[in-house]
Amino acid sequence: MRALAIGLLLLFLLAMGAPVGAQDIAGYRHKHWDVAEGAPADIRAIAQTRDGYLWLGTSTGLYRFDGLAFDKIEPATYNRWRSTQITALAAAPDGALWVGYDYGGVGVFRDGRLTDANAVAKPQGSVLNMAAGADGDIWVTVNGRLGPELRRRHAGRWRSYTPADWLRPEPIQGVFVARDGTVWIAQYPGVLRVPPGATRPEPVSATAGLPGSFAEAREGAVWMASSRGLQRLTEPRRLYPVRSQGTSSGSIGLRSLLLVGDEAWIAGHREGLVRLPMRDDRVAAQADVPIRSRVLFRDREGTIWGGGPDGLVNYIRSPTVAAAVDGVPKLGFAVGPGPARPLFFATDSAIYRISGGKAEAIHSGPDTEILCAAAGGQAIAFAQEKLLRVGGPRTQALDLPRSVYSPTSCVDEGGKIIVSFGGQTILEQVPGGWRPRTDWPSAQFVASDGRGGLYANQPLRAVWHIGAGAPRKIWEGDAIAVGFVKLVKPIGGRVYIGGEQGLARSDGAGFITLEARAHPYLRGLSGIAIDPRNVWLIGGEGIVRIAAPDFEKAFAAPGRPIPHQVIGQTQGFISRTFSHVANDAEIDAAGTPWFVTNRGVVRIEADRLRPNAVPPPLGICNLVANGRTYTGTSVSLPAGTSRIDLDYVALSFTDPTHNRYRYRLVGFDGDWVDAGTRRLASYTALGPGTYRFQVIAANPDGVWNRTGTSMTIEIAPFFWQTWWFRAALVLLIGALVWLLVRWRVRIAGNAIRQRLEDRAAVREHIAQELHDTLLQGVQGLMLRFQSVLAHLPAGHAARVQLESTLERADDVLQEGRDRVRFLRENVRPVALAPLLAKTAGDVLQGQLHATITEAGTVRPVSAPVADDLARIASEAMFNALRHAAAATIAIRIVHGSDSLSVTISDDGRGMDPDVQQHGGRPGHYGLVGMRERAQRLGGTLRIRNAVPSGTELRVTVPARLAYR
């Protein structure tokens, strides 16, 4: 009855769920996700696909896990003949996930969709197990009213094997594909194997119990766990019994086998997780962990996962191994002399000694206030208001003066005990009693310097060295850069001082400080230990390992980053917060580092310090824009989208919260953005266009996946943001500018034309006035003088003078008529070529040969324009005659539809480049005048040297000004 009661109590405790602390396994850190944390209940299958996601098959459906969040995956279509209970999962080499249902056959998750994948519409039977081979074949075991069935999907087609083929006529359980391609099949009770390339199985001389589960060891040995125990199926065959009260889900429930190092882990027992060391004393060494997991799985990083009725749990190899001690650590390490180097520490329940890698209690009782090591593997402690020598054959009490109280530290120097009492005094043991050392400074604590002297600390005031001579200050006042000092420790001829704000070191020539503001993991430092390869520290961020060469370089450049590894942070191992005297890191005689932490005393196993070398796979979970969620590798967003949020994840499960990320949005970011551990990227003020979001990640050990993953994002434009609209707008603006320029040119041309017409009108008016007034008046005077002349006798002196005067008057009158005719003729349009020919004759006087050609439709030219063109041509020909040493001059007139151009070129030596550059010679205004005339006409004047020799002048006048 008593055994029955104990068994019922055990079942009750398992049903209620074991405390998380009871699930601890030495050398592993673990985390448990229950329903309250979003995990699904009743997990029956676990798999990991090629993309890195973890998949959970549960009684309520399929879930995807990224290390932090659980996402339920719904089937793409509704099928009332398909169960919601998932009984098996298999990850295929092509990245697909195969799903087995309690009824309804199998499905496959591929390209983001979960679809049915059966050979028939209504498959019979219940899927028990699935396996995927390296060749892509999928194996499925099914039991139903038609009997056992093994289904195989090969080359895209299903094939079914029944007892009518080669299965035994007995229930079928599991199927397993070994690394060499061998297929192992567990029936009940028979076991079969299908070698690679074979078409039929061969029986195995083993008997399977219920339920059965396979696993393969590193060397290739295949094992099976069932109700008959643990069996090795490959040679040499073995059978080892497992002490168990059966599976937690009945005789045909789930059992899962996983080989972990030199142990076999078996889940699904009523006792919880059964751990069997792979040695001959398996039954005697069996250890049970109260975990309700029924299925076990190891991912590609080596993390072990367990799933069951109470959620998901994982176990990750950790270098930190906790010592089995009672109570909470209270005092740091004291190190005994000699090669054995025993380590002592105290909890609030006992004093412990570490020797041979194990911690043993050497004195029980609370209230241990100080502790120091003595010879012979013993320690001196102040406990229960007494100074005690412990660790020997018996505990010995040492008398202290009644006038002192509250000791804070002690030192045993060669059998002589020194005790400090806070800021009161320091006592030194002498034959027959104790001597107050009033010649020494009072100190919070004292520490040995390893050479027969002491270091004494006065917090925030000074650190002293007490040696053969008078005590001397080695660090004081504001120079103490580490803040409140907790640790003074000599190592290798140097003294290290640790405090709340960093670590300092001195070799006798002053202190160099590594400050916590540059190295945050040094904040709250309470321990340092050094071995030939590494420096070990413990502070407010956890246990820290620094390579010895990097540690030495740090003191040469204290502000530069130091390569380091933080250990135990995820398990909460940090320095003791309220310790005022500390030595929380030491190395034992075997070279193993030990640490006193806020959560116990731990050691570091060096063979577990290998970094995780697996680059983390990456996934972009979704993109959120305008209240909608988008998934996939390419998304299209509507016009007006200006803000997007992208959720991404690195699928490294060793410590998901410390995965690091970098991302960039190509087309927006100029460089990578260091996101730290943040898993969300947000962008605002995005315009239309195509972008590419890229993200890379590193696992907590700094191994980067630099290929990463990406998503293409296309934001549609409004019509006014399209290229064709912008092009049309540019064309419209260009047209408006062109019209504006044309309008301005027309206005300017009209103004010039008006000036020319005004000029012609003035000439015509002057001609009229001259004719109607001056010439008519002169003509009248001449008639009156002729009348007077008729009355004078011939030969009269006055008659001779008057005739001479009348002749001169006739000349003046003719000259006036000529001028009036000239003014009137210059108002009417003229033929330009004859005018320029006459000008050339007047200027050249036959000294140079001149030719005139015309092109285009010849039209008369406005008289003022022709006059100015003639004057420009005259100046050009004069310059060629005088300066160019030319032989010929060619004049070409081109009558265009929009302009009139006159080109005068010679074959002389050309124009001086300096004259051409400055537009003329100082004091000479011929070229200046020509340009001014061309500008008055609204035209342009261009002068350049001709090829191969000579000078070319071209004046161009708009047609609307040149012609009338």
pLDDT value, residue 771: 61
pLDDT value, residue 152: 96
Is the pLDDT score of 352 beyond 70? yes
Neighbours of 645 (CB within 10 A): 14
pLDDT digits (tens, 9 = 90+) for 463-477: 999 998 899 999 999
The rounded Cα 806 to chain-centroid distance in angstroms is 111
Helix axes 797-825, 723-769, angle to 10 degrees: 170
Q: Is 589 exposed, middle or buried (0-12, 13-18, 19+ CB in 10 A)?
A: middle
pLDDT value, residue 246: 81
CA atoms within 13 A on the CB side of 325: 32
Segment among 18-27, 80-89, 779-788 with least mean pLDDT = 18-27
Is the pLDDT score of 856 beyond 60? yes
* Contact in structure between 452 and 414 (CB atoms under 8 Å): yes
Give 22's pLDDT tier (boundaries 50, 70, 90): low
pLDDT value, residue 462: 95
pLDDT digits (tens, 9 = 90+) for 655-708: 999 999 999 999 999 999 999 999 999 999 999 999 999 999 999 988 999 999
Mean pLDDT score, 394-413: 87
Nearest CA among 503, 568, 574, 497 for reference residue 538:
574
* Contact in structure between 711 and 644 (CB atoms under 8 Å): no
pLDDT digits (tens, 9 = 90+) for 101-118: 999 999 999 999 999 999
Mean pLDDT score, 919-943: 82
Is the pLDDT score of 896 beyond 80? yes
Mean pLDDT of the chain: 89
Mean pLDDT score, 380-391: 92
Give 27's pLDDT tier (boundaries 50, 70, 90): confident
The rounded Cα 424 to chain-centroid distance in angstroms is 57
To 5 degrees, how large is the angle CA 387–CA 389–CA 391? 140
pLDDT value, residue 644: 96
Q: How is residue 521 annotated by DSSP? A: G
930-935 contact pairs (CB < 8 A, 24+): 930/872, 930/875, 930/876, 930/955, 933/868, 933/871, 933/872, 934/868, 934/872
The enclosing H or E element of 576 equals none
How far apart CA 76 and CA 87 sit, in angstroms, is: 19
Is the pLDDT score of 757 beyond 80? no
* Contact in structure between 570 and 303 (CB atoms under 8 Å): no
Nearest CA among 61, 64, 58 for reference residue 293:
58
How far apart CA 521 and CA 515 sit, in angstroms, is: 10
Q: How is residue 245 annotated by DSSP? A: S
pLDDT digits (tens, 9 = 90+) for 534-563: 999 999 999 999 999 999 999 999 999 999
Give 207's pLDDT tier (boundaries 50, 70, 90): very high
Give 8's pLDDT tier (boundaries 50, 70, 90): very low
Is the pLDDT score of 594 beyond 70? yes
% of the chain beyond a pLDDT of 90: 62
% of the chain beyond a pLDDT of 70: 92
Looking at the DSSP assignment, which residues form a beta bridge with residue 900? 895, 957
* Contact in structure between 353 and 325 (CB atoms under 8 Å): no
Give 766's pLDDT tier (boundaries 50, 70, 90): confident
Is the pLDDT score of 174 beyond 70? yes
Domains observed in the chain: 28-242+252-319 (2.130.10.10), 322-608 (2.130.10.10), 618-718 (2.60.40.10), 832-963 (3.30.565.10)
pLDDT value, residue 10: 40
Q: Which of 71-85, 392-406, 780-794 has the highest mean pLDDT?
A: 71-85
Is the pLDDT score of 161 beyond 90? yes
Is the pLDDT score of 171 beyond 90? yes
How far apart CA 671 and CA 690 sit, in angstroms, is: 17
Is the bond preceding 948 in cis, omega lying within 30 degrees of 0?
Answer: yes
SS3 of residue 266 by DSSP = strand
Neighbours of 464 (CB within 10 A): 22
Nearest CA among 434, 426, 417 for reference residue 334:
417
